Amino acid sequence: MRKPLVAGNWKMYKTPKETEEFLKAFLPFVQNNEIAEIAICPPYTSLYIAHQQIKDTSIKLGAQDVHWEDEGAFTGKISCKMLRDSGCHYVIIGHSEQRTYFYETDETVNKKIKKVLSNHLVPILCVGETLEQRNQNQQKEIVKMQIEKAFQTIKDIGETVIAYEPVWAIGTGINATPEQAQEMHNFIRSLIQSLFNQEVAEKIRIIYGGSLKPENAKEIFSQKDIDGGLVGGASLKPDSFYKIIQSVI
């Protein structure tokens, strides 16, 4: 049985003080949660304070990106070791905003995944097609290529999570329908089976992201191959994030 994962991707929101306030309000809601695994991915500057507050709970900490080198003259970059020592468990890799605005390519995604896995962190690999690609019915081809390249020459993907995030659904208020999402998740699971084996395909968690909110989460999460969500905007408020977590069946 795959344990669902609901992860909050805070993007460039919340100072350390705002992070502290969020967690003070949020932690009482989830004290006895056993339904889903919960993670928050705040900005780097909030990792320390968040770790202090959640280290004795079951909530996991994640970062939003990482550099693939161990250390060196890479101004502005953060290494896996720095993230691990800050209490991180997950690292989001290949988010569409990184791909669109910050020169992330399938090659850099591949380097980052290798480094993250070798540092005993867990990648959350983001994949998804643009609206133009979907309008041309290329979504499966695109996602297949992104996944094949991300995992190139990797034999053991460990606990890696895949987040299917159609670019046209991110931050737009327009979510994929449960059927569209299920179709893609099922396609991704079959692809994982062909790239690795059945055991890996049954074990891997494939989560959905893109305009998840309390109003649509239940229907999306009820689909067979959808193992939780990566939540942007709606994870910034304790009550809406909690309502989405509660929607996991």
**Neighbour tally for 195: CB within 10 Å:** 16
CA separation for the pair 175, 54 (Å, rounded): 30
**Rounded least distance, CB 66 to ligand PGA, Å:** 16
CB of 28 or CB of 171, closer to ligand PGA: 171
Residue among 165, 160, 162, 161 at smallest CA distance from 139: 165
Q: Where are the beta strands (DSSP E) in the chain?
A: 5-9, 37-41, 60-63, 90-93, 122-127, 161-164, 205-209, 228-231
**Rounded least distance, CB 161 to ligand PGA, Å:** 12
Asked if residue 41 binds ligand PGA (CB under 6 A), the reply is: no
Asked if residue 129 binds ligand PGA (CB under 6 A), the reply is: no
Asked if residue 50 binds ligand PGA (CB under 6 A), the reply is: no
Amino acid at 212: L
Please provide residue 91's backbone torsions phi and psi, each rounded to the nearest 5 degrees. -135, 125
CB of 81 or CB of 89, closer to ligand PGA: 89
User: Judged by CB under 6 A, which of 121, 176, 230, 245 binds ligand PGA?
Assistant: 230
Asked if residue 9 binds ligand PGA (CB under 6 A), the reply is: yes
Q: Is 215 in the active site?
A: no
Q: Is 89 in the active site?
A: no
CA separation for the pair 101, 89 (Å, rounded): 25
Count interface residues toward ligand PGA (CB under 6 A). Answer: 13
**Rounded least distance, CB 126 to ligand PGA, Å:** 7
Helix (H), strand (E) at residue 180: helix 178-195
Please provide residue 9's backbone torsions phi and psi, each rounded to the nearest 5 degrees. -105, 105
What's the angle, vertex CA 207, arms to CA 206 and CA 210, rounded to 5? 140
Q: Which residue is nearest to ligand PGA (CB)?
A: 232
Q: Which of residues 160-219 bind ligand PGA (CB under 6 A)?
A: 165, 170-171, 209-212
Which residue is catalytic, options 37, 97, 129, 165?
A: 165
Asked if residue 231 binds ligand PGA (CB under 6 A), the reply is: yes
Chain Cα centroid distance, residue 56: 22
**Rounded least distance, CB 101 to ligand PGA, Å:** 12
Which residue is catalytic, options 95, 97, 104, 185?
A: 95
**Rounded least distance, CB 160 to ligand PGA, Å:** 16
Residue among 174, 81, 165, 169 at smallest CA distance from 125: 165
Positions that interact with ligand PGA (CB under 6 A): 9, 165, 170-171, 209-212, 230-234
Q: Which residues are catalytic?
A: 95, 165
